Chains A and B, each alone.
Chain A
Amino acid sequence: MSLTLLNVVAAVIIAIAFVAANAAYLVWAERKGAGFIQRRPGPTENGPWGLLQPPVDGIKLMTKQLLIPGGVDKIIFVIAPVLAMFPSIVSFVTIPFSDTIVAHNVNIGLLMIFVFGSMSAMALLMGGWSSRNKYSMISSVRAVSQAVAYEIPMLITAITVVMIAGSLDLMDIVHKQSGGFWHWNIWPFQKGLFNILMPVSFLIFFVCSLAETNRAPFDLGEAESELVAGFHTEYSSMGFGLFFMGEYANIVIGACLTTILFLGGWDCPFGLLPGVWWFIVKIYILIFTFIWIRWTFPRTTIYNLLNLSWKVLIPISLFNLLLTAGLLKVF
């Protein structure tokens, strides 16, 4: 018992370190990626290729004053950024990187990640509501309606995968996809099933994870040309920093989840490297796609976004759910 507890504590510490390092260096990667896309060098001043930029940014943020504006709801205002960061760290505990590298495998891992994932919308609402700023207010209302609209197709698509695997355990979901990359859920021919709509549901899941993490072109929460900075307009110092890191941590989780559900997790297509490296390669390819999309597309508006979810993504994902259920029954 105590050994398990010790394990979990160690795992949480490693998860925090992993999340923080990832969040910090994804900011660097994002800036370098943006530079690459925009034909400019990106950060270069601190360290080779600007690699010391994240720690320097971190020091700057930490040494700044955490300003709490007059008239705000202090408790909620302070809790909100913590709540933006905390669920993503907890989610990491259940994510398996390979057969052996997993902090604490739970047999309802997928459910747990979704539960904690939806808490980040709560953080945005709390931050926006307590700031007592009209821009923040509009932004937080947007963020919540967006989260509600996109969690539904995301969950339905996930349920499709769960039905194929017959388990909520992330390990089982990956094991079900083993044995050659054509067994991955992204392709129409999994074991004992031929479902032509699976590539579409991968796309739906990917779009939903873009929207869930408030990334462009769905970054309506912090649409900087409309709402100044959205829900974190009034935040300074690490209050802002935590929101920022929370966003990047959510991106990593979104990429991990997409990899596990659709890209076969640590299953290697060529059998070259050990599995965990394939897992990491896959998530970083997805993360690069996130960055690439952000610096290419303009932002949509809230109504287009909601229309896309309710009129396109939900019907298609529901149809796919029915189709998969029918196929599973037949085969």
Chain B
Amino acid sequence: MSEPIVLQPDETFILNVGPQHPATHGVLRVKMTMDGEFIYDAETVIGYIHRMHEKMAENRTYAQYLPNLSRLDYLSAMAYCHGYVLAVEKAAAIEVPQRAEYIRAITVEMNRISSHLVWFGAFVMDLGGFSPLMYAFDDREQILDLLEAITGSRLTYCYFRFGGLYNDIDDDFIEGTRRFIKRMRKSLKMYHKLVTTNIILMTRLKDIGPVSADMCQRYGATGPVARGSGINYDVRRNEPYSVYPEFDFDIPVYSEGDSFARYKVRMEEMEQSLRIIEQGLDKLPDGPVNPEKKPKTIKLPPGDYYTAVEAGRGSFGIRIVSDGDKSPYRLKLRSPTYSNMHLFDEACRGMLIADALAFMGSLDLVIPEMDR
């Protein structure tokens, strides 16, 4: 005879979702106290892929730490590198040529689209629809090919240098990107037809996983999660950096706070990123992509520096405390997923397990970025 599954005194049982579970997309573990199919309580357990990226910074030079940044959020690595080079450039007062800044913005936005495409595919797969993943990856492949041609890597880019770029872009890239913009606009239309207007998807997302603006502020959630809850905050607009003030783009904000609002925010962000890329290509100035003069070894003057950028998942902040040495005294990364994820414990109480995992998908978690 089999031993029955033991219930706790209050007739709940513990369900371990993860660290190896198809819906957590990585090694996140959620310890759920279940009452039948309803979640009574949940506790996220992180740390399964911790690699001490912050500590690593303390015994490397600033330049040596560059590749680490793209190992945090492997889906939108460009934005993280961008944040780091901006922080160091600001502290060391390195001039960046205008052309380099434009190319940075273009590649970051392309990377944002590819990151959102992975989210889109994986999210719909969480809901049980498999085909959109394949379409999304097909489109993403075009971005990866373009970025591979200029950066040399497909996922963990190390393209930005202090003061400039690894190399310049060529006409093939510009032409290919323009072709991609056309293709992507068409694809987005198809996604809306195939997925957004699907009745099953709507019933599964509307009014599911409501996150209030207050809750977002308490947990420090940023990015599409906060914008789906009516908080009009985007680092690109609120604390402008790089050449973003020169672009004309909208920040999509929805106040419903449910999974569908977050879905719509990300879908519209892709369109806005396409607009930014298009304007960037039109306005792209000529000139060098690296400064003529730049110190060989970078040493930051003693002090405390903070820079934030808008990464694919929200506001990514980097704080460098320098004591004037070749490597930082302390480097602290503020990763958006870490804050966004902690909503889950509170928000998923009382949800069905199916809805909770859909809600988790709508938060767009990238576990290596959370654990660092």
Contact = CB atoms under 8 A, between A and B. Distances in A.
Interface of A: 34, 37-40, 71-73, 76, 130, 132, 134-135, 137-138, 142, 216-217, 219-220, 223-226, 228, 295-304
A224 B22 CA distance: 7
A302 B37 contact: yes
Nearest to B24: A225
Given A38-B135, A299-B200, A223 B354 contact: yes
Interface stretch (B120-128, B174-182, B254-262): B120-128
A24 B323 CA distance: 68
A130 B2 contact: yes
B47 interface: no
A37 B357 contact: no
A70 to B, nearest CB: 10
A300 B5 contact: no
B352 A298 contact: no
Contact of A34 (B1, B130, B135): B130
A300 B203 contact: yes
Contacts of A76: 2
Contacts of B34: 134
Given A71-B2, A137-B5, A297-B198, A225 B22 contact: yes
A297 B129 contact: yes
B138 A39 contact: yes
B362 to A, nearest CB: 13
29 contacts: A34-B130, A38-B130, A38-B134, A39-B134, A39-B135, A39-B138, A40-B134, A73-B1, A130-B2, A132-B4, A135-B15, A216-B128, A219-B128, A220-B354, A223-B128, A223-B354, A226-B23, A228-B21, A296-B194, A297-B198, A298-B124, A298-B127, A298-B128, A298-B195, A298-B201, A299-B127, A299-B200, A301-B354, A301-B355
B349 interface: no
Nearest to A301: B354
A130 B128 CA distance: 26
Q: Which of A71, A300, A302 has the most CB of B within 10 A?
A: A300
Nearest to A300: B200
A34 B200 CA distance: 20
B320 to A, nearest CB: 40
A32 B195 CA distance: 22
B217 interface: no
Nearest to A130: B2
B203 A296 contact: no
Given A71-B2, A134-B5, A301-B355, A38 B131 contact: yes
B248 interface: no
A219 B127 CA distance: 11
B352 A302 contact: yes
Contact of A298 (B22, B37, B129, B355): B129
A76 B4 CA distance: 14
B329 interface: no
Nearest to B356: A226
B10 interface: no
Interface string B1-41: 11111000000010100000111000000000010010000
Contacts of A217: 128, 200
Contacts of B23: 225-226
Nearest to A294: B130
B360 to A, nearest CB: 10
Contacts of B13: 134
Contact of B357 (A138, A225, A302): A225
Closest 4 CB pairs of A and B: A299-B128, A298-B129, A73-B2, A38-B134
Contacts of A135: 15
Contact of A296 (B4, B129, B357): B129
A12 B258 CA distance: 54
A300 B204 contact: yes
Contact of B203 (A137, A224, A304): A304
A298 B204 contact: yes
Contacts of B128: 216-217, 219, 223, 225, 297-299
A298 B208 CA distance: 16
Contacts of B195: 298
Interface in B238-256: none
A137 B1 CA distance: 16
Interface string B131-144: 10011001000000
B188 interface: no
Nearest to B353: A226
Contacts of A34: 130-131
Given A72-B2, A134-B13, A301 B131 contact: no
B361 to A, nearest CB: 8
Contact of B37 (A40, A138, A295): A138
A62 B37 CA distance: 35
Q: Which of A34, A219, A226 has the most CB of B within 10 A?
A: A226
Contacts of B204: 298, 300-301, 304
Nearest to B124: A298
Given A38-B134, A138-B353, A298 B198 contact: yes
Nearest to A227: B353
B247 to A, nearest CB: 33
Interface in B190-213: 194-195, 198, 200-201, 203-204
A41 to B, nearest CB: 12
Contacts of B135: 38-39
Contacts of A71: 2-3
Q: Which of A216, A223, A225 has the most CB of B within 10 A?
A: A225
Q: Which of B2, B124, B352 has the most CB of A within 10 A?
A: B2
Nearest to B23: A225
Contacts of B3: 71, 132
Contacts of A73: 1-2
Interface string B79-123: 000000000000000000000000000000000000000000000
B59 to A, nearest CB: 41
Nearest to B13: A134
